Structure 1
Amino acid sequence: MSSLFRMKAIMVKEFRQLSRDKLTYAMIVMIPLIQLLLFGYAINTVVRQIPVAVVDQSHSQASRWLVESMKASQVVDVVEYYQSTVEGQKGIQTGEVRAVLVIPYDLEQRQAQQRVQAQWMIDGSDSMIGSAILGLENMPVTNTYKLSNLPVDSKATNQTFEMTMFYNPAQRSAINIVPGLLGVILTMTMVLFTSIAIVRESEQGNLELLITTPVSSFELMIAKIIPYIFVGLLQVAIVLGLGYFIFDVPINASLIDVFLGSLVFISASLTLGLVISTIAKTQLQAMQLTLFIILPSILLSGFMFPIEGMPVLAQWIAEGLPATHYMRIIRALVLKGAELGDLYKDVLWLLGFTVLGIAVAALRFKKTLD
């Protein structure tokens, strides 16, 4: 009986201690709630409204009808009109659009003869996007061929579009997964490493020593992340190297661009970890908060599910994650052979996030010293 009383006392103590730990208590309730609502609402394997462009060489009523038929399918959303196929390929390479519909000058004649009417140039770096657009290959375009007065050819085909897949014509999953996996690995390791940096100093009793030194808060934040930058770059070399030699994943861009693009993402992830480290009181809390960042980074960044298939609110949340911007950068560099300068919007976003993160972490750390 005395054993039960002793166990009861320990249990009561644990419950009271848990109730006093407001951050852990909030995480117990909020993590499953937010994750359930966010992912249940956001994850959608049926891709719709894929941003595409049109190269209209026909400039006819038939071509306008064809474009409207594509819009009516709700699979694609025409966001750009290019003058040439070269511009279209550039748009796919930089990620402005996911596919380009090329309408030939003899569209009316093709419709009258019931031949293949136009060509899709598809970004194959995302297999789900590619599969969704490939599903339009035999899409009927009702009555468009009647717009032509040319005689109908007796030879007919059920194929409406010719499909050309760029960057991953064989639709190998490793081509798409390996670069994206690099973003997930860096997020997990970089955020976790620095999220426990300040907390560890406090738990080991080194924080008082740091307070007495002339090192400023800003200098401390910079010094904390620099060693892990080299760790992150080493991970980039390992993942891409093994991906190239084992899974035959091509590296089409300059290695300098690849490492520079990875550098800005590593810096952003490390500063995010530092901010978490100034919020958490224990290493357990730091790891819980890190998990709160890692799961959205995996599911909302475009690694597993296309962002285009998500509701607008989920897309806004995704745009606030550093991993989302890095997914665009690394896939454009490694798979499409883009130049880092073409991806300046995502690079500038990550640089701005890094500067803001260091500033917030330094201010919060200074505040705790007061």
Structure 2
Amino acid sequence: MKKLTLLIALCLISFKYLMAQEDSLVFKNKNIIVGEIKSMDKGILKIETDYSDSDFTIEWEEIIEVYSKQNYLISLQSGKRLNGKINSSSPGKVLINSVEQGDLEVNVDEIVYFTTYEDDFWSRLSASVDINYSFTKANNLKQSGITSTLGYVASKWSANAGYNLIRSSQDGVEPTRREDGNFSFKKFLPKDFYVPVNYSFLSNTEQLLDIRSNFTGGIGKYILHTNNAYFGLEGGASYVKERYSSDAPTQNSWEAYLGSELNLYDIGDLNLYSRVVIYPGITEKGRFRSDFNFNAKYDLPLDFYIKAGFTLNYDNQAVEGASSTDYVLQTGFGWEL
């Protein structure tokens, strides 16, 4: 009787475990892993299991079947964005049960992004922060900086913000400071088109900028959107307000803008990102500005990373006494949510 009771208890425990672990993956080599599938982004899938202290990260291209009862926010190579469940209909094929558009069968490699879509705020939030500091005894040189990002993704839109600060001082030289921040909003449209609205500011002692506020709006499209990379183009109009630390008067002007963005992320733990934006003057004829950003990030265990970034700002009609070009090379160590 005791043996029968023990057997029933073990069966109940096993059944409860299996019911809790509702998601499963089948690999090309026929191995199977069971757990809770959280997300897939940039070719990497995250799954949580009861027998691991941290989430497993798996290359999406190694998976041939996926089964889940959870609800996901899903993006396809075609630019479609769906909200629904994902389950394999056959090896290499996935059936998406969308609340809005019904059933849709796609190839596994057509899915470029998905994440659990829940009503709570934290499941849609991402954040990162890294800091750096250096000190050189010669001339008492000190430099410090901080880089931070914050993002939020909903079914039809996304919002991102960032803030960067660099301070430098040494004996016999005026202190330098460079501070910039941005907020961007994207409304996703069919066929991988989107409407971008951005605000950014820059304060820079090298270019005698007390503050430059820049508002932009336009239309964009992802030309390439896969599990290995994405490349997007956008363009529109820009309104700029500039206040200088010199005696130069405050300027208000209109510009056109054209930007491109490239992200390469199927390089092991390395992620490369670049963005170029040019601003031909409209109200100030002959003026031309450009911003260039390049970042390289290498992922470490426990969500830590090391990062190097290069930023270049150019203005062919900089205020008198200021440099037309300013650039920053920054390295750091950080952690991301």
TM score, norm. by length of structure 1 = 0.25
Greater helix share, structure number? 1
TM score, norm. by length of structure 2 = 0.26
Higher relative contact order structure (alpha carbons within 8 Å, sequence separation ≥ 6) = 1
Greater strand share, structure number? 2
Structure with the greater alpha carbon radius of gyration = 1
